[in-house]
Chain A
Amino acid sequence: MTIIDNPKQPTEPDTPFGDEKISKTGDKVFFGLSFGAATLILVTLGAVALFLVKEGLPVFTASDKSDLERGGDSFFGYVGPLVLGTVYIAMIALLIATPIAVAVAVYISHYAPKRLSQTLGYFIDLLAAIPSVVFGIWGITVLAPILSRTLYPWLDDYASWLPFFGSDVNVSTSGRTTLTVGIVLAVMVLPIITAISREVFLQTPRLHEEASLALGATRWEMIRQAVLPYGRSGVISGAMLGLGRALGETMAVAMILSPADGYFWNIITNSNSNTIAANIALQFPESSGLEVNRLIATGLVLFIITFGVNALARRVADTGFTGADG
């Protein structure tokens, strides 16, 4: 019917993909959208820095500092202990989590039977998404009492020659310590590092693995030669994500830690340096005026720390200075 009505039909291009004009406009629109979105990333990050600086700056420039009752009016005296607490706790968490996470990732990707590994992978993914507030409520109800009954007395008795278990202060009986928080954060970041490492380990080219095995390598040698070097960047970006979460982790710290003002190296007592993020969460709802500006300024410090860590991690990833390539 259409052929009779429209004799031009047979001469039109016989492609299912539409005509050229639409294609060209479509190309422009599509490119514009993508380019715009990418540019928006730049703009957003610029805005984050800009607004934090703008709202944080008054704490340095204001002439009337009577708002700042707690913590004195020296900003660096205020933020110093918070920086220590933040970095200290995140480091403890990462030191505990990374080796275990990589081992678990290798186990799931190369040791567990395939069907089991899919289930395990699902659970690890699921656990990576358990909200921090749930870990916080678990840490203070379940983990802190256990640790204060078992591990901390033991560390106090046998390991107090180490500066961070030093016996100068009484060991915590509530378990609300830096080490408890470090362990909880390790549990929290572990699934993140595992999930990402596992993903890249699974993508190791089959031929690399088989080549290694064909040369007579044992399974572990194959993993060291083929899987780990291939997954190195994935492990680093996983650890980076994990560190980012640990540095900025707020609720678990705010709920579990028993904070005090000042610098504390001992990690099993009731006096602990708070973290920047937890301090903001605890103080913000009750702050006003210049105190809010000060909290935003500490947030800027946290932003700079995480920025520095990311830059460093990326440099490590680029130069490959991890020893994995032997």
Chain B
Amino acid sequence: MMLTTDHLDRDRDRDRDIGSDSNGDITSGELAGKGTFAVFGGAVVLGALTWLPSGSVNWARWVIVTILAYIIGTYVVSRIVESKRHATDRLATAVMTSSFAVVLLPLVSVVWTVVERGSNRFDWTFYSETMRGVVGEGGGAYHAIIGTLIITALAATFSVPFGLFTAIYLVEYGGKTRFSKRVTGLVDVMTGIPSIVAGLFAYALFVLVDGPGHRSGLAGAVALTLLMTPVVVRASEEMLRLVPNELREASYALGVAKWRTIAKIVLPTAIAGILTGIVLSIARVIGETAPLLITVGIAQGVNYNPFSGRMATLPVFTYNSYAFPTLPRDASLDRAWASALTLVIIVAVLFTGARILSSILKPKGLK
């Protein structure tokens, strides 16, 4: 798509130039590719010049000065060679491109640090042993992985049907009634519920049943459900709305009942987006720490029963190993980083899976 647009851009510029330029040179009044490279090169050199006063290489300053110099340089050069409108256009391009570079910096740093430090304990022991009876080095996060899987699976079981049917109501049945508007508003409110408040809610709910100090995997799953449901609703709602009305009308015209139209026409058309949304929501809650910290707590061994007792989960395990390290400190910190790395890998796998799934299921002919 961008190729076509570029092509149009260039054609239009040429047309204008032919009309207005007395020299008859069709590329005059246009900043060529060479020109932008020259500006960029100049900016890099200018950035490098900032080494001179201190005499040492400062990468961050180099990058920042280069970016600033490039943005200003492009604007000035284009303003002189081309027109004010083109200069603004190039300024916008330079700002957007460089803001992307600025964003990548911390994000690459996060991933790099986690991989580098996490690899210290990225071994089989870490994934096959628990922390029961472990003093000092060794030990693993098997119990935490089990806990995370159980609690997340429970939360998904609650929130996927809950969220999907709410979205179906909003798009297919609700229309513009006051009730459906109110539900939409409340889903927005729910989206904004801080994770710690969701945790407090689950705690308060289970305190009613079990008395103060309640800790269980189920309470954690309830907290996560509260966080996950609005994400599922919003993602599914958006995707259902993208399904063209013509499809529904065609189905009705053939005499198909409404629920069959939804189940056989609307949902399959939107399924790729909905599944992606569900996986995104799982990825969002799988790393939630705060609600689990106060509803589930932490345990040293495996607890397969989500209905009673504390369970270890990967995020809480990461936090605990880092914030309250046991001696020797380095062994504990290594476990924290390895656990963080595991979380990142799980999220990455979920995402890649969603990608593949959505490209397999995408109906042909839809963009």
Contact = CB atoms under 8 A, between A and B. Distances in A.
Given A122-B355, A134-B318, A277-B194, A17 B5 contact: no
Residue among A35, A51, A131, A237 with the highest chain B CB neighbour number at 10 A: A131
Interface in A101-153: 103-104, 106-108, 110-114, 120, 122-123, 125-138, 141-143, 150
Interface in B181-215: 182-183, 185-198, 200-201, 203-205, 207-208, 212-213
B182 A42 contact: yes
B162 A40 contact: yes
Contacts of A103: 95-96, 99-100
B287 to A, nearest CB: 2
Interface in B297-352: 297, 315, 318-319, 322-323, 336-337, 340, 343-344, 347-348, 350-351
Contact of A110 (B2, B191, B205): B2
A48 B222 CA distance: 11
A133 B103 contact: no
A159 interface: no
Interface in A37-80: 37-38, 40-42, 44-45, 47-48, 51-52, 54-55
Contact of B99 (A104, A240, A288): A104
B170 interface: yes
B190 A45 contact: yes
Assign chain A's interface to a size class.
35 or more
B260 A296 contact: no
B194 to A, nearest CB: 2
A130 B183 contact: no
A155 interface: no
A44 B191 CA distance: 13
Contacts, number: 303
B287 A44 contact: no
Given A26-B257, A213-B8, A218-B86, A302 B92 contact: no
A132 to B, nearest CB: 6
Interface stretch (B21-29, B105-113, B124-132): B105-113
A252 to B, nearest CB: 9
B64 to A, nearest CB: 11
B185 A131 contact: no
A218 B13 CA distance: 10
A295 B330 CA distance: 33
A30 to B, nearest CB: 4
B186 A42 contact: yes
A190 B103 contact: yes
Interface stretch (A1-9, A162-170, A261-269, A278-286): A278-286
Nearest to A44: B226
Contacts of A132: 287-290
A45 B189 contact: yes
A146 to B, nearest CB: 8
Interface of B: 1-2, 5, 8-9, 12, 60, 85-86, 88-89, 91-93, 95-97, 99-100, 102-103, 106-107, 109-110, 113-114, 117, 161-166, 168-170, 172-174, 179-180, 182-183, 185-198, 200-201, 203-205, 207-208, 212-213, 226, 229, 233, 254-260, 262-263, 280, 283-284, 286-290, 293-294, 297, 315, 318-319, 322-323, 336-337, 340, 343-344, 347-348, 350-351, 355
19 contacts: A23-B259, A34-B172, A37-B166, A51-B204, A114-B2, A125-B351, A126-B347, A126-B348, A133-B340, A134-B343, A143-B109, A219-B92, A219-B93, A220-B91, A240-B188, A241-B191, A248-B193, A248-B196, A289-B212
Given A130-B347, A306-B194, 4 more contacts: A34-B169, A104-B99, A281-B196, A285-B297
